[in-house]
Amino acid sequence: MHRFTGKSVLVTGAGSGLGRAIALAFAAEGASVVASGRTAATLDETVERIEAAGGTAAAVTADVTDSGQVRELVAASVTRFGGLHIAVNNAGILRGAGRVGEVREEDWEAVLRTNVTGVWLAMKHEIAHMREHGGGTIVNIASNLGAHLRIPNAAAYITSKAAVSALTRAAALDHIHQGIRINAVSPGAAAAPMSLRPGESEADRAERMKSENPLGRVAEAEEVAAAVLYLASPMAGAVVGTDLVIDSGASA
């Protein structure tokens, strides 16, 4: 399939995990991909993988918590590939484990700044371009932890991702009349580093998932990427403001 031939796609947090899988998936279907994140070396690896498979990509470092850097990121994406048709706001962090009353203020602020304000800033600058150039599509990466599922000792992350889900719906209603279609994907435990507990191996995680998830396993990164590509594709043309959960049944 080449659903995205001729399209320019920006993926934040593309240096590893789900972001890398999403970038690879878009490139495999013909898109020109800007892989963004804070670490040049990991972004370069993502681009190398895309190019080795015959795709087209460029790496642009940026911190989504800095409005000026995000503005420059969008401008660089447009300059590099002649436009910005699709954006996937995936960058996020997981910090601040512990009960609500024990979370350090600096961890709370860092998580909210990256996971919520970072998504808002990304959309702000992406939308500014898209509404002047015929519209576009945005997919935000939330989480099943938040709007769909709560667990102990993860209040900062849960709060941030619930906010991404709500922000996505609000933005979808605000901008659909400008031709900008906005949705979210909420992964659960997936085959990515963030789902590993401290000191846990992939084999340990696989064993844990046998009892924690109804499906008995984590979602593959490619399965999450497939959901993102669906929401970004013309086949989802009537899907506006949804939050698609991909979590192996954990929040069912």
> Tokens 């498979």, residue?
53
Question: Annotated catalytic residue: which of 4, 26, 120, 157?
Answer: 157
Residue 230 among the catalytic residues: no
Round to whole Å and give the CA distance between 190 and 62. 25
CA distance 72 to 68: 6
DSSP 187: E
In whole angstroms, how large is the CA radius of gyration of the chain?
Answer: 17
Task: Answer yes or no: are the C-beta atoms of 9 and 31 closer than 8 Å.
Answer: yes
Helices 17-28, 40-52: inter-axial angle, 10-degree rounding: 30
Catalytic residue numbers, as ranges: 157
